[in-house]
Amino acid sequence: MNAPGWPEIRRQFFDWHEFTSTMPGVASAFLLNVKIFCIAEGLILVIALGVAVVRSLPGPVFFPFRVLAIAYADFFRGVPTILVITLLGFGAPALELSHVPRSTTFWGIVALVLVYTAYVSEVYRAGIESVHPSQEAAARSLGLRRGQALFYVIIPQAVRRVVPPLLNDFIGLQKDTALVGVLGAIEAFKQTQIDQAATFNFTSGIAAAVLFVAVTIPLTRLTDWLVARDRCRRQAASVPT
């Protein structure tokens, strides 16, 4: 704060009047971020689990499906999210097909689902592979078929183990909803750009940052609590009775 340029920085970034005047508009636009996050998260949880299960199927019969799942995960983990959003958001509507939606929000959600499904599927797969093979063998010995053992024995254990890393991915997803603004959707970050162009002041960006932090910090603390609870449970289970 003793820097020569601090008074100007304070005026440009930390003006209380600008903060209070722009916060209602930014908060209203932030609802779109929350909407995108909730829809994308629900789709990602289901689709990513399907991709992880396909990658875990044994035998040569499922080899082509495993290859497709691997190619999908490798491709969308390698391409920057903003490029996927831009290509789909501007490219798909430009086809001018009657059955192709032109909503920027729709294509933003599709892009986020494609990218984050690739990451989350790897988290699921790690959880599935962490379950000891004896669990499947025990389920098969009780008369369950391979598919039943997978869905009733292995997947429930795997999902429980990967909840903390899943929450970390969804914290990143919540922040990346701001990238949808490049398509023209009026979400929180796009609204700050509109306010900054009108007032030549960047305090509205601080307002948006406060809203994102208000969502991500509780998720972070929830992740820490789940990790600590799981650690305590494992330590209790390892203590001989």
Which CATH number covers residue 47? Answer: 1.10.3720.10
| CA–CA distance, 53 with 67 (Å, rounded to integer) | 13
pLDDT digit of tens for each residue in the chain (241 aa)?
A: 778 888 888 888 998 999 999 999 999 999 999 999 999 999 999 999 999 999 888 888 888 999 999 999 999 999 999 999 999 999 988 888 888 888 889 999 999 999 999 999 999 998 888 888 888 888 888 888 888 888 888 888 888 888 888 888 888 899 999 999 999 889 999 999 999 999 889 999 999 999 999 988 888 888 788 778 877 877 776 665 5
* 12: in domain: no
pLDDT score of 148: 84
Give yes or no for a contact between 116 and 44, defined as CB atoms under 8 angstroms apart. yes
The number of beta carbons lying within 10 Å of the beta carbon of residue 59 is 8
* 16: in domain: no
* 27: in domain: yes
* Displacement of CA 210 from its chain's centroid (Å): 19
Which two three-digit tokens encode residue 142?
Answer: 């009780």
Give yes or no for a contact between 128 and 154, defined as CB atoms under 8 angstroms apart. yes
pLDDT score of 45: 92
Range 46-50 contact pairs with CB under 8 angstroms and sequence separation of 24 or more = 47/113, 47/117, 47/121, 48/116, 48/117, 48/118, 48/119, 48/120, 48/121, 48/123, 48/124, 49/121, 49/124, 49/155, 49/159
pLDDT score of 74: 93
Give yes or no for a contact between 103 and 58, defined as CB atoms under 8 angstroms apart. no
Give yes or no for a contact between 115 and 89, defined as CB atoms under 8 angstroms apart. no
How many domains are there within the chain?
1
Which two three-digit tokens encode residue 6?
Answer: 């601090």
| Radius of gyration for the alpha carbons in the chain, expressed in angstroms and rounded | 23
Tell me how far CA of residue 206 lies from CA of 27, 91, 166, 202, 209, in angstroms: 12, 32, 28, 7, 5
* 104: in domain: yes
* 227: in domain: yes
* 5: in domain: no
* 7: in domain: no
* 87: in domain: yes
Q: Residue 241 carries which side chain, given as an amino acid letter?
A: T
| Domain that includes residue 94, residue range | 22-238
